[in-house]
Structure 1
Amino acid sequence: MAPASVRIGNASGFYGDRITAVHEMLEGGRLDYLTGDYLAELTMLILGKDRMKDQSLGYAKTFLRQMETGLGLAVDKGVKVVVNAGGLNPHGLAVALRQLAAKVSVDAQIAFVNGDDIAPRAAELGLGTPITANAYLGGFGIKAALDRGADVVVTGRVTDASLTVGAAASAFGWGYDDLDAVAGAIVAGHVIECGTQATGGNYSFFREVPMDRPLGFPVAEVAADGTSVITKHDGTGGAVTVGTVTAQLLYEIQGPRYYNPDATALLDTVELAQVGDDRVAITGVRGEAPPKDLKVSLNHLAGVRNEVDVVITGLDVDAKAELFRAQFEAALPSAPAELTWELSRIDRADADTQEKASAVLRCVARDPDPKVVGRPFSATAVELALASFPGFTLTSPPGNGSPYGVFEPGYVDAGLVEHLVNQPDGVSVVIEPSPLRTEPIRDVSVPDSGPVADRGATRRAPIGEVVGARSGDKGGSANIGVWARGDDEYAWLDETLSVAKLKELLPETADLTVHRYRLPKMKALNFVIEGVLGRGVAENVRFDPQAKGLGEWLRSRVVDVPVRFGSPD
């Protein structure tokens, strides 16, 4: 008999998250499942480089360290562990876990999910010759492993939400036709996948969140119908509120349709309600059939990147920057394929410390040939040390540069990817894709919502006094989710923040394609800005390559705010 609900906790939002979180989650309260998300677009490139050096690597080594004490604890407490820490080598991680289990005398049944790695077939599938190519799999392979009695399931590249979907689908016996329930689990999984971002981390209104203790990691209490309550263990830091959950729901999304391999969750059907201290209910989620194609994460090595950071102090900053740039470019032995300059005017007039009187001029070079942007590039900057503007200094000695990669998404028919589960008993099972797959419905962006109603007197103030924001990267694009906390404030936000207004407030986006989507039930708008991050985080074209601060920049911009909204304390 299926339980009324299951408690699914998450102990990792990225590769490098708090190492003690697994132990904290297992000891801190009751759980049925513990998930961990270790993968991101950049992580796949990092693991790809690891595997190029040693074919036995390619997985998240920190998870293995966490299991040294966590494996026995999980088995003793009856908690099933589901993680994507397998990265590019889930088989290798499973073998290492079995060796660890024998070493610590723990009887743990370990399964792994693979088939996502399609790099050997990338060219024949029309995806070029990347160093990594991984299709995003769904949660039903995880379900099969748990159904067969696995205590630990490690996967390669599944979608972040699939960890929760697999656990819930196993607990309740869902099938592909349970679209609304699966969609509900997708939404719950999206909320908890980034760990403490759901409990007050990276939250616009952070002053409202108890930060005196380490933030607790989130727990989703998922019911048989796919509804859920987001919470955390008692006594842990942070908070779970409608606001913190809304912020995470808006993270790294596009339109109202949130595509996953097992269902498409309709984010504009999500309803949130505070149902207790640190308890937010998610209801009303509807699901559609999943798209017929799987998304593929493609990483290519693109060349070598090097940079020089020059400190400019005192008077005539612009003129000094122009002089160094002209001297440096004229002296370079070879012109790099890409050379970008950025002058950060962090200096101030009549400063009382030298640091406050200084600006930073950054030059970034990229080229396929390491000789072009390696030692000759660095030496050119050093040789100008006594021959350029007064006060010349560097933040650090220039280096030889480092390889960089670029991410791009690809798509492949789900029927061409073999979704495999290697069960604890050694039996390998093929997971057939959902028969409901169809051509996805594309959401239409709405550039504005009509004229702004008269709300009386206004004052000039940062828009962030009224709204929160959460931003993040999606390949070379970025999203900014913006939400209000009241109906009147949302109506004003919806009318005020058009695509044109966003471009006015964020001039760096003026020449880029921007999509605007409405999510009225969450009192939110979502903007997707194409190309603002170049070719992705690994290319590092901006000082904030993952667009983490883009939303906070928007909140700092000044607009006409109705006086009746009041002002912050």
Structure 2
Amino acid sequence: MTGAATGTGAGAGVVAHRPAGRDVLRVANCSGFYGDRLSAAREMVEGGPIDVLTGDWLAELTMLILAGNRMKGRPGYAPTFLRQLEDVLGACLDRGVRIVANAGGLDPAGCAEAVRELAHRLGLSPSVAHVTGDDLTGRPLDLVNADTGERLDAAPLTANAYLGGRPIAAALSAGADVVVTGRVTDAALVTGPGMWRFGWGPDDLDALAGSVVAGHVIECGCQATGGNYAFFQEVPDLAHCGFPLAELRADGSAVITKHPGTGGLVSVGTVTAQLLYEIAGPRYLGPDVVARFDTVTLTQDGPDRVLVSGVRGEPPPATLKAAVTVLGGYRNTMTLVLTGLDIEEKARAAEEAVWARIPRDSFDRADVELTPSGLLRITVMDADGRRAGRAFSSAVVETALAGYPGCYALTPPGGASPYGVFWPVLVPRSEVRPRVFVDGEEIPYEEPQPPAGEDGPAERQGMPGGPVSGPEDDRAARPVARRAGGPAAGPAGAPSVRVPLGRLAGARSGDKGGDANVGVWVRGDEQYAWLASFLTADALTRLLPGLAGHRVDRYELPNLRALNFVVRGLLGRGVAANPRMDAQAKALGEELRAALVDIPAALLP
């Protein structure tokens, strides 16, 4: 296998650049979100041989940010992509490295033109392609929320369908050196190049599914190489964590690795953690294929190398997810600090003093959150920006000398900010027409008809933040909601120890639209037998009382020794409209790991 990473640490050498064989495609990631490390593109191009440089700049929140930028006369794409491209475009052209990015956001054509202007300034002449067709704004849509069944009664600010990888493959096949897209699935940035290199057709479901899994692993940058890892003490030189790359093969299997000489860790554990990030059940829907996460096999293939194999695929549904955003109103948050004794009594006194000056029921919504560290966050949301602005924040400040002892605030009085709402919908695939442009000229492109798949009531699983279609036909793929749990499995009469769950299990959590997910995994079969018996949906709610009142679905992934929980509605109308301090549920997994439980002593490391 070419491009093998054989170790970590500052003393490791740099692998010489050399062409890859046709049996492997080295796809590197250099961005996991809009705002990620600017030097990553240069690091990935200079650190070792790659064939394709990709990056993910878009998230549900990013589309709202770009919409706001566009209304202010700023670009509707991610300008940081251009900054990274300036560092590497010449080297990529010299080495034949293709560049594929979804940084086009709401204006892929504008981003492609900016790439051409940058190239001209650098004295370079790349072929630049862009993909459109995802933008459904202004078109009649069925605005039923795919998660909740509610109907949107406001005009969308943005509406973008999640496209797949085949338009990217068409652009690469037409000779494009750089491909810029708008809203595509994160995994499409890997699946598209795989289609281009290996010629996968719509019927190559297993290969396509394998590439989707590889794309899901590397899409979030350093999260696959030790970043945000539950057992972070095991990760060497985390401060200089290297970005991931996938050595993709013709059958869809892939080795996840990183460049030698970089910090971080690629292990079965780090890859498992990322596989569990922002998913629901085992059937992971996408526009190209349904990838079965309950068929993934992970094998340590050497230092900082994990083989992902065995992934099975199913036909994609006849609908595509579309992300709709809408202006929701105005919000304002004031944060007070509570210290010393009687924290809960102080919080009650503070809240009563604020509402005595400006009634709570005068706002469309008011939310109060007392954190374990003693922060009292009071958030109000209203259609009237004046009511949610200084009228509210000044009322909080007025309590400073007439409230609880030790009072001080972390936020000054200020005006309200507009916020947006995320609204996922489903659209028939036949109503979305991707278009491919190379060097400003549209090329013939017709989306091939995928094999017939099943569609049915949305079960809210699959594409990032999106729904799943249809009932499942096997036990492993069904959610287990609030299943009654028996006694924890373990040797009969074996002594137990009361310790934090995280001494045995890892976890990773995140947002899926208005839902949150918590993936939990262990490293051995006996540990998994205990975990699967003990950690029911009811047990999760007992360990995390803040989840009370929300439906919790549990999914089993025994091949990964993992459970995944989806907490329905915890994040309300999405990140931008969520008043929680942890608006993306990033810390939910670590809160679970800190909970004390009785674990059989023999299972502990």
| TM-score normalized by the length of structure 2 | 0.89
| Displacement after TM superposition at 1:250 (Å) | 0.6
* Partner Cα separation in structure 1 for residue 141 and residue 385 of structure 2: 26
Aligned residue in 2 for 1:109: 127
Say what the alpha-carbon RMSD is for the aligned residues: 1.8
Residue 266 of structure 1 corresponds to 292
What CA distance in whole angstroms lies between the structure 2 residues aligned with 1:507 and 1:434? 47
Taking a change above 3 Å as real, the CA distance of residues 504 and 450 of structure 1, as seen in their structure-2 partners, is closer
- Matched residue, 2:273: 247
- Residue matched to 1:355: none
Change (3 A) 1:122 1:52: farther
Unaligned runs of 5+ in 1: 347-358
Moved more, 321-330 or 542-551: 321-330
In 2, are the aligned partners of 1:110 and 1:424 still within 8 Å (CA)? yes
- Unpaired segments of 5 or more residues in structure 2? 1-19, 145-151, 456-468, 473-477
The separation in 2 between residues aligned to 1:370 and 1:66, in whole angstroms, is 37
Show CA shifts across 1:85-137 (max 9, x none).
Answer: 00010000001111111111112000001110101115577765211111000
Give the counterpart of 1:337 among 356, 360, 364: 364
Kindly indicate whether residue 460 of structure 2 is the aligned counterpart of residue 453 of structure 1. Answer: no
Aligned mates of 1:315, 1:523 — CA distance in 2 = 43
SS of alignment partner, residue 413 of structure 2: coil
Question: For 1:332 and 1:230, how far apart are their aligned partners in 2?
Answer: 55
Structure 2 residue corresponding to 1:407, chosen from 422, 425, 431: 422
Displacement of 1:345 in angstroms is: 4.7
Structure 1 consecutive aligned stretches of length 4 or more whose deviation exceeds 6 Å = 124-127
Cα separation, 1, equivalents of 2:406 and 2:521:
46
Which residue of structure 1 aligns with residue 58 of structure 2? 39
| Corresponding position of 1:493 | 531
Matched residue of 1:246: which SS? helix
Give the secondary structure class of the aligned counterpart of 1:167: helix
Inter-partner Cα distance in structure 1 for 2:471 and 2:584: 25
Q: Give the SS at the match of 1:538.
A: helix
CA distance in 1, matches of 2:342, 2:368: 18
Change in CA separation of 1:72 and 1:454 when aligned onto 2, cut-off 3 Å: closer
Per-residue deviation, 1:190: 0.4
What is the identity, as a one-letter code, of the residue corresponding to 1:561?
A: I
How far the C-alpha of 1:386 sits from its partner, in A, is: 2.7
- Matching residue of 1:92: 110
Judging changes above 3 Å, is the alpha-carbon distance between structure 1 residues 96 and 130 closer, same or farther for their aligned structure 2 residues?
A: same
| Partner Cα distance (1:272, 1:369) in 2 | 52
SS of residue in 2 equivalent to 1:121: coil
Larger deviation: 136-145 or 324-333? Answer: 324-333
Cα separation, 2, equivalents of 1:260 and 1:424? 28
Counterpart AA for 1:342:
E
Residue 503 of structure 1, aligned match among 538, 541, 544:
541
Deviations along 1:334-393, one digit per CA (max 9) or x if unpaired, are 8111112223353xxxxxxxxxxxx33221111010011111112212223333334332
Between the aligned partners of 1:449 and 1:330, the Cα distance in structure 2 is: 44
Whole-angstrom distance in 2 between the partners of 1:102 and 1:385: 58
Paired residue total: 554
Alpha carbons of structure 1 residues 427 and 317: separation in structure 2 relative to 1, 3 Å: closer
Shift of 1:434: 3.2
Q: Provide, for residues 289-343 of structure 1, a one-character-per-residue CA deviation record: whole Å limited to 9, x for no partner.
A: 0011101111111111111212334344433333332232121178111112223
Where 1:366 maps in the other structure, the secondary structure is strand
Q: Deviations over 1:202-233 (max 9, x none)?
A: 10111111025511111100111111111111
Letter in structure 2 aligned against 1:65 = R
Compared CA separation, residues 557 and 319, structure 1 to 2 (3 A): closer
Maintained 8 Å contact 1:449/1:495: no
Q: 2:322 & 2:403 partners in 1: Cα distance?
A: 48
The answer on 1:121 being equivalent to 2:155 is: no
Query: 1 CA distance for matches of 2:89 and 2:170?
Result: 21
Greater shift, 282-291 or 422-431, is seen at 422-431
Q: Which moved more, 1:291-300 or 1:443-452?
A: 443-452
Q: Name which of 179, 193, 205 aligns with 1:179.
A: 205
Asked if 1:221 corresponds to 2:257, the answer is: no
Quick check: 1:119–1:129 contact (8 Å CA) kept in 2? no
2:375 alignment partner, one of 353, 360, 378: 360
- Does the 8 A contact of 2:256 with 2:306 survive in 1? yes
2:439, 2:21 → 1: CA distance? 23
- Is the deviation greater in 234-243 or in 533-542? 533-542
Cα offset, 1:446, TM superposition: 2.1
- C-alpha offsets along residues 423-460 of structure 1, whole Å, 9 cap, x if unaligned? 23613434425332422443421244864334211111
Tell me the secondary structure at the aligned position of residue 43 of structure 1. Answer: helix
Aligned mate of 2:583, from 545, 561, 565: 545
